[in-house]
Amino acid sequence: MKSEYSAKFGSPYPMGLSMRDGAINIVIEFPHSPKKVCGIILYTKNQEALRITFSDRFRIGTLYCVRLEGPQLTDFSYQFYVDDVVFCDPYARRIEGREVWGKPAGADSVA
């Protein structure tokens, strides 16, 4: 994914990721962020990744409020990271990638 985007200070509401006026508004809390590197990883459908580190200029207390604008910022999935730990958005409305859970029940199993 090309890194043709601009980052600006975003709106502090709503929490998580939302689309606003053709841009992505990101609000996430990183309680220990002053000592750690944190940000978002955007993935295209063919799994190209764009890692964006959040600057302290986007921080209010423990919240990061970032507005990303760019033509390529459509049809993507994402995860957040703190240092080397990658995790899902705790405010996500939908999670992809594990559409099937567990093993299918066999004819002799008790459901």
- List the chain pLDDT tens, one digit each, 111 residues: 556 789 999 999 999 999 988 899 999 998 865 678 999 999 887 778 989 999 999 999 889 999 999 876 777 889 999 999 999 999 998 887 766 766 666 655 555
Q: What type of residue is 44?
A: T
pLDDT on residue 72: 67
Q: Beta strands 59-60 and 6-9: pairing type?
A: unpaired
pLDDT on residue 86: 94
Look at the chain and count its residues: 111
- Cα–Cα dist 102/88, whole Å: 20
pLDDT on residue 78: 92
**Whole-prediction pTM:** 0.80
pLDDT on residue 15: 95
Burial of 94 (0-12, 13-18, 19+ CB in 10 A): exposed
